[in-house]
A and B are shown apart, each in its own frame.
Chain A
Amino acid sequence: DAGVIQSPRHEVTEMGQEVTLRCKPISGHNSLFWYRQTMMRGLELLIYFNNNVPIDDSGMPEDRFSAKMPNASFSTLKIQPSEPRDSAVYFCASSPLDAETQYFGPGTRLLVL
């Protein structure tokens, strides 16, 4: 199994630009999670999907952030417009339904100048 795949691995952009992060979960996994990791706040859950439906987006910081899961094998996290404080590592994780743990992708390191 290829594991959770994220792209791009690194992204450098300028303030005000739109950023789209992509995730392919492990085949057969029903749940998908987007996290953000910063030195100050650690690892925080942004949004959780179950069977492609957003269940909890209470961690999404503001309206500039949006996430979609059009099918079971693909999800996007979009930031528009991006700001320097959005600089962080964004992780996608997936798990089978009711699984005990989550399987993390390698992350996308985002730098907004």
Chain B
Amino acid sequence: KQEVTQIPAALSVPEGENLVLNCSFTDSAIYNLQWFRQDPGKGLTSLLLIQSSQREQTSGRLNASLDKSSGRSTLYIAASQPGDSATYLCAVRGGGSNYKLTFGKGTLLTVNP
């Protein structure tokens, strides 16, 4: 059974700092890995998706990496802003035709002005 762990559970940083969020998964036979953002009282928004054959994806100030063999992914946020404050969730999709997403419990990020 796939298990996804995110560390740390919460992180507070001053504005402008670069930061890294971590995600680990137990079964390396994945189809892809996604990072989502969840704002309070709202649904999830997909930020970055990395296919199992890829090593990283970038979107603006966000960069996600994937090391499938070691079961790890990181989300790097450059020059953090107060608007980045949210919960960030990592989810892996199983291999083959497995549609199921397994989520970590998330990292609550607070960026202080």
Q: Which residues of A contact B (CB under 8 A)?
A: 4, 31, 42-45, 48, 56, 91, 93, 100-107, 109
CB distance from B51 to the nearest CB of A (A): 8
- Nearest-neighbor residue (CB-CB) of B98 within chain A: A56
Q: Which residues of A contact B49 (CB under 8 A)?
A: 100-101
Q: Which residues of A contact B42 (CB under 8 A)?
A: 106-107
Q: Which residues of A contact B20 (CB under 8 A)?
A: none
Q: Which residues of B contact A107 (CB under 8 A)?
A: 41-43
Q: Which of B44, B99, B105, B106 contacts A48 (CB 8 A)?
A: B99
Q: Which residues of A contact B77 (CB under 8 A)?
A: none
A104 near B32: Cβ-Cβ < 8 Å: no
- Leading 6 A-B pairs by shortest Cβ distance: A104-B43, A42-B105, A43-B103, A104-B44, A101-B46, A106-B43
Extra contacts besides A101-B46, A105-B43 (18): CB < 8 Å: A31-B99, A42-B103, A42-B104, A42-B105, A42-B106, A43-B44, A43-B89, A43-B105, A44-B103, A91-B43, A93-B43, A100-B49, A101-B34, A102-B46, A103-B46, A104-B43, A104-B45, A107-B43
Mostly, the A contact residues are: strand
How many A-B pairs have beta carbons closer than 8 Å: the answer is 40
Q: Which residues of B contact A (CB under 8 A)?
A: 32, 34, 41-46, 49, 89, 91, 99-101, 103-106
Q: Which residues of B contact A109 (CB under 8 A)?
A: 41
- A103 to B45 CA separation, bound complex (whole angstroms): 7
- A66 to B45 CA separation, bound complex (whole angstroms): 26
Q: Which residues of A contact B43 (CB under 8 A)?
A: 4, 91, 93, 104-107
CB distance from B95 to the nearest CB of A (A): 14
- A64 to B100 CA separation, bound complex (whole angstroms): 23
